[in-house]
Chains A and B, each alone.
Chain A
Amino acid sequence: MTVPELHQQIHVDPDRCLGCFACASACPEQRITWDDREGNRRFRAPAVCAGDCTRCRDACPADAVRLEPMGETAGRSWEPLSWSLPLARCRRCREPFTTQKILALLSRTLEATVGLSAGEADWPSCCPACRRDLESRRLLDAARWNR
């Protein structure tokens, strides 16, 4: 059996995937979904996608998505894709807020992008809500000194 040329098989490399949601945001049919549950960010995607759209692949910042044109269906897997990545928990409130891989990449790149070593930057291990709380307390303390 053959399927139209335009069908393509989706391959995702979970080792390359950072756990961001660029592919899910890019899909015009919203067929790539994700949720955060039990300490993991779980992704689901169809095995096969109809159309000549390559938006998920183009959006992926880690080149983890590969689209393979389908001619023959023999030996193809139609099983939907699912993969998951461990979430990082905030060091203050213990709530999960992003993936461990995104934080690791952030720590590695901060030196090159803003000139801060991993030891100097203390915020990546905090969730956004705790970053705001810490910052506002710092500002209040500073305002008290300046009064």
Chain B
Amino acid sequence: MEPFLFVDFSRCIACQACWAACRREHGGVSRLHLLCFQEAAVPLACRQCRKAPCAGFCPEGALVQEEGRGVKFLEERCTHCGLCAAACPFGVLEIVPGPVPDLSRCDLCRRRWEEGLMPVCVLTCPTRALSLDAGGAVGRRRRAQPAAFPVS
């Protein structure tokens, strides 16, 4: 299973700390989107799709699925054409306008990861609603829970 950012909505209190931490870590642009509804808030970030449409649509092969590490961005190949943003099914890969439009997408804080550190949003979340699922922990947790509703 590819690693991804897992969100437990029942724990999220919509404090926006993850969003603020992400923005600070990544030069003023949050790669995490926070959607607020009346009953809950939903932090959305790159899903690190195994068959990633962004990677498939990139004409330069600048986005690649790296086994066990999610989708990797090879900046030196990127031509800043913006096609990846059109392909992302979840709208979480964005083009930041500018003279050279930049790509903004959660890479699970890859630089921190290489230093053995957790993504800043995971570290910051006061209610531990965010976690990095790198080894199928969500699947294990699900299987450990009894069925939440009867199957008719």
Q: Is the CB of A132 within 8 A of B83?
A: no
The interface residues of chain B lying within 8 Å CB-to-CB of A118 are none
Query: Does A2 lie at the interface of the complex (its beta carbon under 8 Å from any beta carbon of B)?
Result: no
Query: Does B57 lie at the interface of the complex (its beta carbon under 8 Å from any beta carbon of A)?
Result: yes
User: Chain A binding site: helix, strand, loop or mixed by DSSP?
Assistant: helix
The chain B residue sitting closest to A99, CB to CB, is: B86
Query: Assuming the A-B contacts A124-B86, A132-B33, A132-B44, are A21 and B91 also in contact, with contact meaning beta carbons closer than 8 angstroms in the complex?
Result: no
The interface residues of chain B lying within 8 Å CB-to-CB of A124 are 86-87
Query: Assuming the A-B contacts A113-B53, A147-B148, are A20 and B94 also in contact, with contact meaning beta carbons closer than 8 angstroms in the complex?
Result: no
The interface residues of chain A lying within 8 Å CB-to-CB of B49 are 114
The chain A residue sitting closest to B99, CB to CB, is: A30
Interface size band for B: 35 or more
Across the interface, A61 reaches (CB within 8 A) one of B9, B83, B88, B99, namely B83
Query: Does B10 lie at the interface of the complex (its beta carbon under 8 Å from any beta carbon of A)?
Result: yes
Interface size band for A: 35 or more
Q: Mark B111-149, 1 if CB is under 8 A from A, else 0.
A: 000000000000000000000000000000000000011
Q: Is the CB of A21 within 8 A of B37?
A: no
**Whole-angstrom distance between the alpha carbons of A21 and B49 in the complex?**
25
Q: Mark A50-78, 1 if CB is under 8 A from B, else 0.
A: 00000000010100000000000000000
Query: Assuming the A-B contacts A20-B82, A140-B42, are A106 and B89 also in contact, with contact meaning beta carbons closer than 8 angstroms in the complex?
Result: no
The interface residues of chain B lying within 8 Å CB-to-CB of A123 are 89-91
**Whole-angstrom distance between the alpha carbons of A113 and B58 in the complex?**
10
The interface residues of chain B lying within 8 Å CB-to-CB of A103 are 86
Query: Does B68 lie at the interface of the complex (its beta carbon under 8 Å from any beta carbon of A)?
Result: no
Q: Tell me the residues in window 1-27 of chain B with beta carbons closer than 8 Å to chain A beta carbons.
A: 7, 9-10
**Min CB–CB distance A39 → chain B (angstroms):** 17
Q: Is the CB of B9 within 8 A of A139?
A: yes
Q: Mark A9-26, 1 if CB is under 8 A from B, else 0.
A: 000000000101110011
Q: Mark B50-91, 1 if CB is under 8 A from A, else 0.
A: 011101110110000000000000000001111101111111
Q: Is the CB of B79 within 8 A of A25?
A: yes
The interface residues of chain B lying within 8 Å CB-to-CB of A61 are 59-60, 79, 81, 83
**Whole-angstrom distance between the alpha carbons of A110 and B56 in the complex?**
8
**Whole-angstrom distance between the alpha carbons of A106 and B44 in the complex?**
23
The interface residues of chain B lying within 8 Å CB-to-CB of A140 are 9, 37, 39-40, 42
**Apart from the given pairs A114-B52, A126-B91, A135-B91, 17 other A-B contacts in the complex at a CB distance below 8 Å:** A18-B83, A25-B80, A25-B100, A59-B81, A61-B59, A98-B82, A98-B85, A109-B56, A113-B56, A123-B90, A136-B42, A136-B44, A137-B37, A139-B44, A140-B37, A143-B40, A146-B148
Q: B residues engaging A (CB < 8 A)? A: 7, 9-10, 33, 35, 37, 39-40, 42, 44, 49, 51-53, 55-57, 59-60, 79-83, 85-92, 94, 99-101, 148-149
